[in-house]
Amino acid sequence: MTSQSAATLRSRYVAQAASDLEENRRRQQELAEKISVLKQEEALLADLLRLAERYEGFADASRLPEQLQDEPFVAKAKETSTGAASLRSTSGTSAPTGRTAKAGAKGKSRQPLLGDLLTDLLGQYEEPRLAKDLRDELLEKHPDRNPTPQVVRNTLESLVAKGRIRRHKQQRSVMYTLVEPGGSADGRSA
């Protein structure tokens, strides 16, 4: 290889390296801009979550901001979201049924909480029960409630985390039983 061909080859490598470096810088700039947009979106979503949590506890529509009460499209949007129809039903003029303040504080309808219903069902049995069986029994006893199997499992796991029920694994099946009333029911200390 002559010195001239080596110089030509070296200049090609230098040109290629410079081109690659410029492409990397351009790509870094694009990614930095995308990161900036994503951070702005994250901040917006965090603000929305804070607002939703702030107004989640309002069971009485008269306590909601006025624009939410007066705008008809908000009611339609509420009907399509989970649990939103129950939010509207609490603003009715019917007399309360005496359900605990817990239901009203969460902005839910006067129906008992799913966790309470499942706990009541589990309390009727000594032996562990499958989530599927509990859901079937819930649908039979409360036809107005129609939680998905996943919602039932999630609720049961939430109750396990709170120490209200116990999980039992038998081969590939997961079963649940009620924690004895004398034990630590909620798993938290006062």
Identify the DSSP state of 145. Answer: -
Q: CB 125: neighbour CB atoms within 10 A?
A: 14
Q: Which residue has the higher pLDDT, 149 or 90?
A: 149
Residues 117-137: tens digit of each pLDDT? 999 999 999 899 999 999 999
Q: Which residue has the higher pLDDT, 79 or 146?
A: 146
Q: Which residue has the higher pLDDT, 146 or 190?
A: 146
* Token duo for residue 122: 């589990």
pLDDT for position 74? 43
pTM score above 0.85: no
φ, ψ for residue 91 (rounded to 5)?
-90, 0
H-run or E-run covering 49: helix 3-56
Residues 54-111: tens digit of each pLDDT? 776 655 555 545 544 444 444 444 444 444 444 444 444 444 444 444 444 555 557 8
pLDDT at residue 140 greater than cutoff 90: yes
User: Who contacts 151 (Cβ-Cβ below 8 Å, separation ≥6)?
Assistant: 114
**CATH code, residues 112-190:** 1.10.10.10
